[in-house]
Amino acid sequence: MAHVEPPDAHDMRAVGGAYRVADVRRFGRYALVSLLAAEVAERARAGQFVMVGVPGPEFHLRRPLSVHSVSGDTLKLLVEPRGTGSRALCAVGVADVLEVAGPLGTPFPVVAGRAMVLGGGIGVAPLQLLVDELASVGATTTVVFGFRDAGQARLVTPFEIDQLWVATEDGSLGRSGTVVDLAREMAVEDDTVVYACGPTPMLAAVQGWARARGLRGHVSLEAHMACGSGSCQGCVVATRKGYRRVCADGPVFDLEELEAFA
């Protein structure tokens, strides 16, 4: 069975530096920021994240952002303006310079076969790179995204995915309902591997649906992170193996490993 080879120990080490913004695309509230960061881009795997410094002396902590995709020497980050720091990152311009460290965290285990990729809200951010890696090993992939409304669904704009289905909770775009509601309507083979990223209620629903169908899978957790390296212990989550750090032991976990969703 084909799979994406994990990088060796040297390649997995995070790197850091100051990288120039090569392009910024904005759609609604959101921004796709492209950085010329060859060292980070060549190491990045689907599900990993980077810690990004926010321009300005008032910002002391870096912000964790999922790697959206890579293209040659370019690292792309999909940003939602949630607070003052992320709003500042959405406002950067071409030729600005950002301090970045990464990639960090454990990636999705990618294998050939059948895959269903589920994303909710800004949790869709790392899923372009995942779909790209699945395509590279010949996987047959169905992608389903769920959003609150058509405004939030503008997050799909930068994605380049052939089989992409969209649901909105208010029915303003695509199917009416949640991402799991839409997944339930689809024919899913028993050997399908589920990949998911999104808010906790969505992941709980994914876990319940996958368990009922007898499907295995992997989820990427969203968490507030201060250090990104596990030293501050500020992003722990309960698992069947005890408390684990989302930044250092995750953000990707086996779907059945998570006690919080049981």
The series of mean pLDDT values per 10 residues for the chain, 262 residues long, is 49 83 96 97 96 86 93 97 93 96 94 96 97 96 97 96 94 96 94 95 94 94 60 68 73 81 54
Do 210 and 234 reside in the same domain of the chain?
yes
Sheet architecture: strand order including 97-104: 63-66, 49-52, 97-104, 15-27, 30-36, 74-79, 69-71
DSSP string, 162-190: SSEEEEETTSSSSEES-HHHHHHTS---T
Do 179 and 240 reside in the same domain of the chain?
yes
DSSP string, 57-93: TT--S-EEEE--EEETTEEEEEE---SHHHHHHHT--
* Alpha carbon distance 99, 29 (integer Å): 23
Assign 205 to helix, strand or coil. helix
Do 240 and 178 reside in the same domain of the chain?
yes
Amino acid at the residue 17: G
Phi–psi pair at 40, nearest 5 degrees: -75, -45
* Structural tokens at position 146: 């769920």
Query: The CATH number of the domain where 256 resides is what?
Result: 3.40.50.80
Do 47 and 141 reside in the same domain of the chain?
no
* Count of domains observed in the chain: 2
Do 152 and 248 reside in the same domain of the chain?
yes
Q: Which domain holds residue 76?
A: 9-104
Q: Which of 71, 104, 137 is the last residue of a domain?
A: 104
Sign of the CA dihedral 227, 124, 40, 89?
Answer: negative
- Return the pLDDT at 237: 76
Do 120 and 236 reside in the same domain of the chain?
yes
CA atoms within 13 A on the CB side of 97: 5
Do 141 and 220 reside in the same domain of the chain?
yes
Do 74 and 50 reside in the same domain of the chain?
yes
Q: Which of 104, 136, 152 is the last residue of a domain?
A: 104
Do 231 and 196 reside in the same domain of the chain?
yes
* Alpha carbon distance 82, 211 (integer Å): 32
Assign 27 to helix, strand or coil. strand
- Return the pLDDT at 8: 46
Q: Which of 69, 104, 139 is the last residue of a domain?
A: 104
Do 247 and 146 reside in the same domain of the chain?
yes
Do 90 and 201 reside in the same domain of the chain?
no
Assign 257 to helix, strand or coil. helix
Do 72 and 170 reside in the same domain of the chain?
no
Query: The CATH number of the domain where 52 resides is what?
Result: 2.40.30.10
